[in-house]
Amino acid sequence: MTETNDVTGGSSGSEAVSGSGAAASASHLPALDLHAHQVRMPGAVEPIEVAAPFLQPNQLEGFRIGVTSDRRSSDLIDAFERRGARVVHAPTLRIAHSQQDGPLLDDTRTLIAARPDILLATTGYGVRRWFEVAEADGLGSELTDALAESTILVRGPKARGGIRATGLGDSGMSDSETTASLVDKVLAEYPPGLTIGIQVHGATDEVQLDRLRAVHQRVLVVAPYRWIAMDDTDERVYKLVEAICSRQLDCVTFTSAPAVHALFTAAEGMDVYPELIAALQTQVCAASVGPVTSAPLIAAGIAPIQPTRFRMGALIRLVCEHLEQNMIERVETQNGLVQLRGSIVQVSDERVQLPPTALAILRALVRARGAVVSREDLTLALAGDSDDHAMEVSLSRLRQTLGVPGLVATVVKRGYRLNV
């Protein structure tokens, strides 16, 4: 089972990704413990804590963020864009609705006739859609009556809100807001041989259903919606994969485990799965809404950042804080302080937006901290099949864009370095 999105709408403000990639390295700086949030650090597998300063306007200026959610994503995108980020919206999955109403109504009638001893509610959106479909077919009052005597257990606050909106009440919540912990609660606190109803969502977790079936007499499943893959003609996912692999993004957000799997599948189909994983392990931050969504990322060796409260608002805040605190690179030079904020470089008080290839070269030089970077290494920093000529053109454009003579120095027969 998976967490689901918790913001509204679609977005018209997102951008497409194209062109060469830029290496987006993160400089992780220490932070004071004000409001705790979980954050990855180099080499970490489990999230750790980081400070939470107040949100500031334009705090994401220069950063590029990928959004993989489909349902109700406009507020997520708007929150980042209002803070200055450039957003790439590429939903990896979408929710199927109308074609599922027939089976949903059949399952609802079966559950009404069975009058389950326990009902497990896993998502607020799923509960609301279930009752809306039942009401539209004239089954609303029968469904409410059938569940009035049931013990209703919820996975988290959103599922509780959905149940209470129907006029029903719940008898408890899972310990960690996951379906596994909800099943743990049933198996630990209730006798075997009962009739269990469970509202599932998105991608059904058969492991948890089998745990219930092994102990209880009857397990009835109701699925108000399901996840399906995006159409192959939608190129946004492929462009997102390319942008991650070429380090054109600083962060990618995930709100469901199936969305993670769908991204991995797309990368496998493009024969760039190792490159995608390497980018998410090192230079592109993966941000997850909660532990269930994080699970496939962690299984792939990726350490995502994750809010301690599994809510979309907390995820937005955490992404803002993490990028601002940990992914601005700074180096003192003879020409003043150089700061990299995503795709924007600031030298002293001047800020300029860099194209991907120029940014890749500057990042390599900044990471070297004044050490000489060979021509070969700078060429490797560029995405795709770049050669020495492409590197030289990009380096020339970088110098012209910066407009700071001597900042990028040539070391004869060795390479280039920043004038630190």
Q: HEC profile for 23-37?
A: CCCCCCCCCCCCCCE
Task: Provide CATH 1.10.10.10 ranges for the chain.
Answer: 328-418
CATH topology of domain 99-224: Rossmann fold (3.40.50)
Q: Between vectors from CA 116 to CA 110 and to CA 117, what angle results, nearest 5°?
A: 170
Please provide residue 207's backbone torsions phi and psi, each rounded to the nearest 5 degrees: -60, -45
Contact 122, 290 (CB under 8 A): no
DSSP letter string, 235-294: THHHHHHHHHHTT--SEEEES-HHHHHHHHHHHHHTT-HHHHHHHHHHTSEEEESSHHHH
CA distance 186 to 154: 11
- Name the residue type at position 68: T
CA distance 89 to 91: 6
Q: How many CB atoms lie within 10 A of CB 148?
A: 12
> For residues 49-71, b (16+ Cβ closer than 10 Å) or e, as one string?
ebebeeeeeebbbbbbbbbbbbb
* Local confidence pLDDT in tens for the 420 residues of the chain: 444 433 333 333 344 443 333 333 333 333 333 333 444 434 444 443 343 444 566 778 889 999 998 766 787 898 899 888 999 999 888 776 645 578 889 999 999 999 999 999 998 888 988 998 898 889 999 999 999 999 999 998 888 999 999 999 999 999 888 888 999 999 999 999 999 999 987 666 788 999 999 999 999 999 887 777 666 667 899 999 999 998 889 999 998 888 898 899 888 888 899 999 999 998 899 999 888 789 899 999 999 999 987 778 888 989 998 998 888 888 888 888 888 888 888 887 778 888 888 888 888 888 888 888 888 888 877 766 667 788 888 888 888 888 888 888 888 888 888 888
Contact 257, 295 (CB under 8 A): yes
Q: How many CB atoms lie within 10 A of CB 102?
A: 9
Please provide residue 351's backbone torsions phi and psi, each rounded to the nearest 5 degrees: -115, 135
Q: Is 86 exposed, middle or buried (0-12, 13-18, 19+ CB in 10 A)?
A: buried
CA distance 261 to 296: 7
Contact 131, 140 (CB under 8 A): yes
CA distance 359 to 344: 8
How many Å separate Cα 63 from the centre of its chain? 15
Contact 23, 360 (CB under 8 A): yes
pLDDT at 377: 84
How many Å separate Cα 195 from the centre of its chain? 36
User: Does the 328-418 domain belong in CATH 1.10.10.10?
Assistant: yes
CA distance 232 to 351: 39
CA distance 320 to 54: 10
Q: Global pTM?
A: 0.64
User: Does the 37-95+229-326 domain belong in CATH 1.20.1090.10?
Assistant: no
Q: Any idea how long the chain is?
A: 420
Please provide residue 286's backbone torsions phi and psi, each rounded to the nearest 5 degrees: -100, 125
Q: What is the largest CA-CA distance in the chain?
A: 84
Task: Provide CATH 3.40.50.10090 ranges for the chain.
Answer: 37-95+229-326, 99-224
DSSP three-state, residue 115: coil
Q: Between vectors from CA 207 to CA 205 and to CA 212, what angle results, nearest 5°?
A: 105
Element (H, E) at 396: helix 388-402
How many Å separate Cα 244 from the centre of its chain? 13
The H-assigned helical ranges of 137-256 are 140-148, 157-165, 179-189, 206-213, 236-245
- Nearest to 293, CA basis, from 283, 282, 305: 305
Q: Is 419 exposed, middle or buried (0-12, 13-18, 19+ CB in 10 A)?
A: middle
Please provide residue 20's backbone torsions phi and psi, each rounded to the nearest 5 degrees: -75, 160
- Tokens representing 376? 């070969």
Contact 256, 293 (CB under 8 A): yes
